[in-house]
Structure 1
Amino acid sequence: MIESYLTGLAVGGGIIVAIGAQNAYVLSQAIRREHHGWVAGICMTADVVLFTLGMFGVSAALMAMPQALVLLRWLGVAFLAWLAVHAWVRAVRGRAALAAGDAKPRSLRGVVLTTLAVTLLNPHVYLDTLVLVPSVGAQQDDVTSFVVGAGSASILWFGSLAWAGSALAPVLSRPGAWRIIDGVIGTMMAVIALQLAAGN
């Protein structure tokens, strides 16, 4: 039981901690202190649900419908490219400040929808949570403990990311800092979009 849990924690953590559009978005929202608890919660919930579904056979259904993964891939490419362009525009134009009171906050609905898009329109999420993780989990003595371990990795990672970003908000409250952050985020999302387009 413990061994299966630790294996799930290691496998899930190794996948989730990898830098990607989702992590960049969670961090940017945490730095802005803009509904970052909701953002982290949505990411955690999505991972736990997908890990669980993957272990119950959804991965087999997706593998039987490769056209679904192709569609998800190109939707992800388009959305990531859109986010990259907007981040670069903000990097060039600059922002008033990072502090929540110095910029018009976005609605909770808008943040939630963007978080869902960043999370669910990335085919790598499905490949990792519905294919890779279940393929390892199926070899464990205690599948339930493995899934709990993988879910725990997501909760620990996104919780830490949201907390750290919020704690750094006073330090990164200058407009110049946001130019750098937006530039890095835009570049990161563009690279991921290119990788998805290339089928990597």
Structure 2
Amino acid sequence: MKEAIIHGMILAFGLILPLGVQNIFVFNQGALHPRFRSALPVIVTAAICDTLLIAAAVGGVSLVILSLDWLTPVIYSAGMVFLFIMGWKIWSAAPAEGEAKRLSLKGQVGYALSVSLLNPHALMDTVGVIGTNSLQYGGAERWAFAAATAGVSWIWFLGLAAAGRLLGKADSSGKGIRLLNKASAVLIWGIAVYMGMQLRESL
């Protein structure tokens, strides 16, 4: 049991630490909102989505998906389009000086759902990595492994939004947030291009 928990935590940190569109969105919302609790809808939605994806992968969905050879190119193709659109939205949402574009509760939840459930890297990591790694465990150990990976997601998103809030407090002019949004958009476009290269290699 202990080995499964440690394995799950290490694996989750390895997958979640690289900066991706979901992490960028959570951090940005933490930075833009004047109070930490205002970013909680994003944190909770992203964490719940990760938990559900992990539970589905560990529960056996990964075996079904990995058996469908045609599905990976479809996921990556849709993911490229999604990332290019998200990159543009983040780029164009960079606030003018003295302003901060904050999403409503509905907007936060909607965006968090999209970056969590329509992000092909998140889907492939969950299904292809966490799901397959869980197969070496059985019964309670497998679900302890799943709980450990999900727990890391919750802690990470809370910490990420808190770090964003610290930046927001330190950057009263908004210049840092504008720069962050521009850099985030470029990074997301870079991920989309890399995904296209992976797609071409797989065909």
| Fold match by TM threshold 0.5 | yes
Cα separation, partners in 2 of 1:107 and 1:152, compared to 1, 3 Å? same
Which residue does 2:185 correspond to in 1? 186
Q: Tell me how far 1:133 sits from its aligned partner.
A: 0.9
Given that 1:5 and 1:149 are in contact with CA atoms closer than 8 Å, whether structure 2 keeps it comes out as yes
TM-score normalised over the length of structure 2: 0.86
Q: Identify unmatched segments of 5+ residues in structure 2.
A: none
Given that 1:74 and 1:197 are in contact with CA atoms closer than 8 Å, whether structure 2 keeps it comes out as yes
Counterpart-to-counterpart distance in 1, 2:117 and 2:19: 16
Which residue does 2:42 correspond to in 1? 39
CA RMSD of aligned residues (A): 2.0
Instruction: Write the letter of the residue equivalent to 1:96.
Output: E
Given that 1:73 and 1:197 are in contact with CA atoms closer than 8 Å, whether structure 2 keeps it comes out as yes
Counterpart-to-counterpart distance in 2, 1:88 and 1:110: 17
Between stretches 109-118 and 79-88, larger displacement belongs to 79-88
CA shift digits 1:76-129 (9 cap, x unpaired): 2112112222333455xx5133xxxx4453322122111111111111112111
Q: Tell me how far 1:25 sits from its aligned partner.
A: 0.8
Given that 2:32 and 2:165 are in contact with CA atoms closer than 8 Å, whether structure 1 keeps it comes out as yes
Counterpart-to-counterpart distance in 1, 2:110 and 2:191: 20
Report percent identity of matched pairs: 26
Runs of 4+ in 1 over 4 A off after TM superposition: none
Q: Identify unmatched segments of 5+ residues in structure 1.
A: none
Which residue does 2:22 correspond to in 1? 22
Which residue does 2:172 correspond to in 1? 173
| Number of matched pairs | 194
1:38-187 matches, cutoff 5 A: 38-90=41-93, 95-97=96-98, 102-103=99-100, 105-140=102-137, 142-187=141-186
TM-score normalised over the length of structure 1: 0.87
Counterpart-to-counterpart distance in 1, 2:153 and 2:62: 19
Cα separation, partners in 2 of 1:20 and 1:104, compared to 1, 3 Å? closer
1:26 partner SS:
helix
1:199 partner SS:
helix
Instruction: Write the letter of the residue equivalent to 1:56.
Output: G
